[in-house]
Amino acid sequence: MFPSEVTDFFKTQKTPFYYYDLDVLNATLSEIKKHGISKGFRVHFALKANNQPKILKMIKKAGMGADCVSGGEIQRAIDTGFTPDEIAFAGVGKSDEEMELGLQHDIFCFNCESPQELEVLNELAGKSEKKARIALRLNPNVEANTHKYITTGLSENKFGINASDLDKVLEKLPELENLELIGIHFHIGSQIEKFTPFEELCRKANALNDHIEDKGFKLSVINVGGGFGINYAHPNDNSVPDFERFFGLFEKGIKLKDHQQLHFELGRSVVGQCGSLITKVLFTKYGQTKNFAIVDAGMTELIRPALYQAAHRIDVLTSSKARKEYDVVGPICESSDTFRKDISIPEVERGDLIAIRSAGAYGEVMRSAYNLREANPTVYSDEVK
């Protein structure tokens, strides 16, 4: 929960707005440095999770690189202080203009996902008189046991190069003289809560690493992606994920060769718990079987519950009354504009403030202007007076 002085400050702000607790972010970055970066691992932050400049500058200062999936994210990374040699460019559908931007800045690596992408990048690099460093994104066919919309490592997913196509790609690479293969890349999904999928990834990554090196290629980068989940139900008790166990699993499970470095692309686990969406109760409605708390935030501010059926913890900040069950819903004319159904919270009335927790990842970045809704300024904990 938030201290009273923070809640009092919230009352002076126009809702809805995103709030970031920078102490939680700093504690998270400290654990990543301790258990990951200090061991020589290269950790890139996935800008798709959060692209707020203030947060990116803190992440950069902590020693992390940038994982980008668009030209806009590459530019944002550069604008916030990341150097090109810290930027990896992933994504199944890179446009020519986006690849040209990466080539122009001579970024660290393009994570390539299909044979045709390799051919196009080779052509563009030749026109630019550049040599593009690449990692092959391989599809290890690992079940991540997460929501079907955010699993990315199965053979029927659109992502990555399937094992059956790998040898053909390797045979073709020597002809693509404007590309330099430096590594292999994996990403099996997002919000992975169990460690078994990561253990399976290690086994398959080791086999593929050996196979490619046996073909005569020398890989310096083994990139296992991200996907490490957070605890949405109990953010107060689990504000920082168990990075010691996470990094330790890969330290033990990935069999690096002497010339190789282990890379990660973390997003949600870095910023998820530091962000909350603060919203105000507009109205309450009491029916025969349902009670509704109608708030001024909607799926336009946080689409995850509508899109993924995600369940965020909801804290009432300005009421200590007896608990009552509500559907907490937004103002958008869509039945999917619902944050939680049948949730027990302190009884609320018009004007009460609510915090929708664990919204620091895939929250503000996915905000839309549907219904011509305007965005209110972001608030950071160091601004609380």
pLDDT tens for each residue of 81-99: 999 999 999 999 999 999 9
Say how far apart CA 358 and CA 324 lie, in whole Å. 22
Say what the pLDDT of residue 329 is: 98
Angle in degrees, CA 143, 144, 149, rounded to 5: 100
Determine how many CB atoms are found less than 10 A away from the CB of residue 134: 25
Task: Output 333-342 pairs: Cβ under 8 A, ≥24 positions apart.
Answer: 333/371, 334/299, 334/306, 336/299, 336/306, 337/298, 337/299, 337/306, 338/305, 338/306, 339/295, 339/297, 339/302, 339/305, 339/312, 339/314, 340/305, 340/311, 340/312, 340/314
- Of the candidates 107, 114, 108, the residue with the CA atom closest to the CA atom of residue 91: 114
**What is the average pLDDT across 29-51?**
98
**Whole-number mean pLDDT of the chain?**
94
Say what the pLDDT of residue 159 is: 73
Say how far apart CA 66 and CA 267 lie, in whole Å. 10
At residue 158 the predicted structure's pLDDT band, cuts being 50, 70 and 90, is low
Element containing residue 342 per DSSP (H, E): strand 338-346
Three-state secondary-structure class, residue 267:
coil
Say how far apart CA 39 and CA 33 lie, in whole Å. 8
Is residue 41 within 8 Å of 247, Cβ to Cβ? yes
Say what the pLDDT of residue 142 is: 79
Say what the pLDDT of residue 162 is: 86
Environment class of 384 (CB within 10 Å of its CB; exposed 0-12, middle 13-18, buried 19+): middle
**What is the average pLDDT across 271-281?**
98
Q: Which of 124-128, 193-197, 301-305 has the lowest mean pLDDT?
A: 193-197
CA 205 to chain centre: 22
Of residues 103 and 189, more confidence is placed in 103
Three-state secondary-structure class, residue 77:
helix
Residue 107 has pLDDT above 60, yes or no: yes
Name the percent of the chain lying above pLDDT 70.
Answer: 96
Say what the pLDDT of residue 222 is: 98
**What is the 3-state composition of the chain as percent helix, strand, coil, each rounded to the nearest 5?**
35, 25, 40
pLDDT tens-digit series, residues 114-154: 999 999 999 999 999 999 999 999 988 776 554 444 344 34
Say how far apart CA 346 and CA 319 lie, in whole Å. 6
Say how far apart CA 256 and CA 128 lie, in whole Å. 34
End-to-end CA distance of the chain: 18
Residue boundaries of the structural domains of the chain: 4-16+273-383, 22-270
Residue 31 has pLDDT above 60, yes or no: yes
Is residue 169 within 8 Å of 114, Cβ to Cβ? no
Query: Under CATH, which number does the domain 4-16+273-383 receive?
Result: 2.40.37.10
Q: Thinking of the domain 22-270, which architecture would CATH place it in?
A: Alpha-Beta Barrel (3.20)
Residue 14 has pLDDT above 90, yes or no: yes
Please state the pTM of the whole predicted model.
Answer: 0.93
Say what the pLDDT of residue 143 is: 60
At residue 16 the predicted structure's pLDDT band, cuts being 50, 70 and 90, is very high
Angle in degrees, CA 50, 2, 240, rounded to 5: 50
Three-state secondary-structure class, residue 121:
helix
- Of the candidates 186, 172, 170, the residue with the CA atom closest to the CA atom of residue 119: 172
